[in-house]
Amino acid sequence: MSLSSIFSQFLAIVAALLLAPLLMGWVNQWRAWFGNRSGAGLLQPYRMLHKLFHKESVVAESASPLFRFAPYVIFGCMLLASAIVPTLSTDLPLAPAADAIALVGLFALARIFISLAAMDIGTAFGTLGARREMLIGFLAEPALLTVLFTASLIGQSTSLSTIVETLAHKQFAIHPSLAFAGIAFTFVSFAENARVPVDNPATHLELTMIHEALILEYSGRHLALIEWAAALKLFAYSCIGLALFFPWGIAEAQAPLAMLFALPALVFKLATGGFLLALIETLSAKMRIFRVPEFLATAFLLAVIGMLTHILLGA
């Protein structure tokens, strides 16, 4: 493990921690502009985190230790997930810790803890949110895994770094299977990050909220950690999408100078992605919760067809 690889890993983590709230603010800002409002500004998520970290954390009397413990687990999972996704460079010492399959497991671990914590207090909303979260999770995970399998078949490895190296730095090739996988991945990310067709991140309406219902009981630094983790999750998903489908600009191993270009490339790609996300969110209507299985079944199906096309066409 050389010094430069440790440095690139460190830089990737710092970039994830700092860019994630900014990405959230960027998406919210565009949502506000599309809705003809002036918006709270790009830095609002940072102010929010600052405020929450300085507030007292109130915990319900009936809470078990799990309730206090869960935010740290969730934040840790998301941080590790964003650390092993190749954002700036494929030279990541932490990457062997988890391949693409373990990455899905990390997201699942965070989901289980947030759902357990929501049910821990025993309020009706928490349980309702936890059930919905699990419903979405169990439908989204197979689709996400299948998308990653398609990419793994192309890269001949389940390690994300190897896949990205194959896609970005080998001879250019059109992969029709990745077109299917890309659409399926977009569907899954909307569902997993509680964005508009599945869940409205800005709502507190009890009939429709999913993510907000889970974290109603949290306050203070716990809430700050969970909000930061949600931003990191969006960041990690965006970076997986960019790494698989637009891998250009990510630096190779043994090329530390290329990281100078990787950062502007990443910021540019994230800005475009965030703009498109806000656009799609503004244009589409939130669907009924019982339509969600249909939406995610379509994602799963597209992912499976992507894999079949890869086997048939060999590309």
Q: Which residues bind other proteins (CB under 8 A)?
A: 172-177, 179-180, 183, 293-294, 297-298, 301-302, 304-305, 308-309, 311-315
Of 206 and 294, which CB lies nearer to other proteins in the complex structure? 294
We find the least distance from the C-beta atom of residue 222 to other proteins, in angstroms, to be: 37
The residues pairing with 251 across neighbouring beta strands, listed in sequence order, are 89
Of 175 and 195, which CB lies nearer to other proteins in the complex structure? 175
* Token output for 247: 């891998």
As to burial, measured by CB atoms within 10 angstroms (0-12 exposed, 13-18 middle, 19+ buried), residue 156 is exposed
We find the least distance from the C-beta atom of residue 163 to other proteins, in angstroms, to be: 18
Q: What values do phi and psi take at 103, rounded to 5? A: -60, -45
- CA–CA separation, 286 and 182 (whole Å): 21
In angstroms, the Cα distances linking 9 to 80, 110, 242, 250, 253 are 11, 22, 18, 13, 11
Of 8 and 186, which CB lies nearer to other proteins in the complex structure? 186
Of 49 and 303, which CB lies nearer to other proteins in the complex structure? 303
We find the least distance from the C-beta atom of residue 150 to other proteins, in angstroms, to be: 12
Of 146 and 200, which CB lies nearer to other proteins in the complex structure? 146
194 contact partners, CB below 8 Å, separation of at least 6? 200, 201, 210, 211, 230
We find the least distance from the C-beta atom of residue 147 to other proteins, in angstroms, to be: 15
Question: How many other CB atoms sit within 10 Å of the CB of residue 65?
Answer: 8
We find the least distance from the C-beta atom of residue 154 to other proteins, in angstroms, to be: 12
Q: Contact, 250 vs 243, CB < 8 A?
A: yes
